[in-house]
């Protein structure tokens, strides 16, 4: 492949934004074939050895795609205060991995980790509108009126939520399990919506992200994606829905 500027290669690999990658290069943290790189340098990852903080830069041919069942009370990213265990630490893989989206500390379920920066952008940017599915236990027994309001959308922080699929699943000791399918992911959106309706969340488990499903993976366990799952993700990167059909960007 032709040579590209280092910051572009690094951003594509999911290290950081191009601007931040330029800062990393300027801090002498990047080498090409053993020599410290400078801002503006170019390289070809197929023939050059590019390292960031001593770790070889991943290329599209050797990206990692890992799904984890995050347990409750783990932080999705790094806890700078060092008070909480990190979900990333449950995956004994040395590759520099980043979470695709996040789950709140008390939330559980499917998290995807990868070093594929382009895919991360496609799965997390609101304009692509990929489906997320959650099993949610709320206090009490929501009325049909409340669920209808939730489904049709309402205002949070002055902005209307998108239509959401909310299905009543079963009751459990005076609480209710709901199956929630949505195509947006504002911060703590489900918890805030449930509290607004008067039915606070007791448990929240993500079971699907885009075409990837949690299945029977146990809490704290992880696995690499299958070739078929990776193909579906690469269809997303190509702007398709996993079945070969071109996706339409989500319009609000």
Active site residues: 104
- Say if residue 114 is exposed, middle or buried (CB neighbours under 10 Å; 0-12, 13-18, 19+): buried
In terms of DSSP bridges, do strands 201-209 and 108-114 run parallel, antiparallel, or are they unpaired? parallel
Q: How many CB atoms lie within 10 A of CB 13?
A: 23
- Both structure tokens of 146: 């409340």
- DSSP codes joined into one string, the chain: ---EEHHHHHHHTTSS-HHHHHHHHHTT-EEETTEEP-TT-EE-TTTS-EEETTEEPP-GGG--EEEEEEPTT-BSS--TTS-S-BGGGGS---S--EESS---TT-EEEEEEES-HHHHHHHH-GGG---EEEEEEEES---HHHHHHHHH--EETTEEPPP-EEEEEEEETTEEEEEEEES---TTHHHHHHHHHT--EEEEEEEEETTEE-TTPPTT-EEEPPHHHHHHHHHHHTTB-SSSPBPPPP--
């Amino acid at each position: 492949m032709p040579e590209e500027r280092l910051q572009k290669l690094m951003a594509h690999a999911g290290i950081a934004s191009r601007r931040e990658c330029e800062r990393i290069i300027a801090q002498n943290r990047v080498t090409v074939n053993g020599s410290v790189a400078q801002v503006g340098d170019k390289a070809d990852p197929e023939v050059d050895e590019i390292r960031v903080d001593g770790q070889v830069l991943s290329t599209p041919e050797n990206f990692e795609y890992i799904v984890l069942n995050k347990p409750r009370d783990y932080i999705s990213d790094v806890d700078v205060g060092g008070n909480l265990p990190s979900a990333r630490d449950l995956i004994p893989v040395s590759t520099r991995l980043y979470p695709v989206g996040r789950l709140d500390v008390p939330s559980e379920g499917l998290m995807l980790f990868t070093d594929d920066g382009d895919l991360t952008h496609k799965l997390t940017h609101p304009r692509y509108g990929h489906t997320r599915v959650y099993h949610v236990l709320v206090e009490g027994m929501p009325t049909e009126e409340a669920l209808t309001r939730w489904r049709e959308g309402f205002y949070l922080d002055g902005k209307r939520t998108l239509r959401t699929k909310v299905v009543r699943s079963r009751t459990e000791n005076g609480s209710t399990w709901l199956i929630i399918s949505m195509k947006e992911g504002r911060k703590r959106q489900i918890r805030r919506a449930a509290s607004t309706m008067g039915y606070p969340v007791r448990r929240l488990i993500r079971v699907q992200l885009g075409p990837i499903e949690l299945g029977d993976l146990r809490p704290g366990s992880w696995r690499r994606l299958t070739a078929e799952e990776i193909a579906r993700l690469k269809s997303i990167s190509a702007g398709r829905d996993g079945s070969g059909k071109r996706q339409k960007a989500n319009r609000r």
